[in-house]
Amino acid sequence: MAKRTDMGKKFVKRSGKGFDQIKDLKISNDALLILKKIIIVKNR
């Protein structure tokens, strides 16, 4: 497990921006799901 966490830290340091992009993608995916639900409700 220790090796894994070290690798994770190195990866985050190397691609801090990439990590933020992944977070943004997750957020946008959640937003899309919410929008889809709203659209489905409106279509009823």
Tell whether the model's pLDDT for residue 19 goes beyond 80. Answer: no
Residue 31: pLDDT band (50, 70, 90) is: confident
- What's the rounded Cα separation, in Å, for the pair 17 and 44? 41
Average pLDDT score over the chain: 72
Contact by Cβ (8 Å): 27, 34: no
1 against 7, higher pLDDT? 7
- Domain interval for residue 19: 2-43
Structural domain count of the chain? 1
Structure pTM?
Answer: 0.40
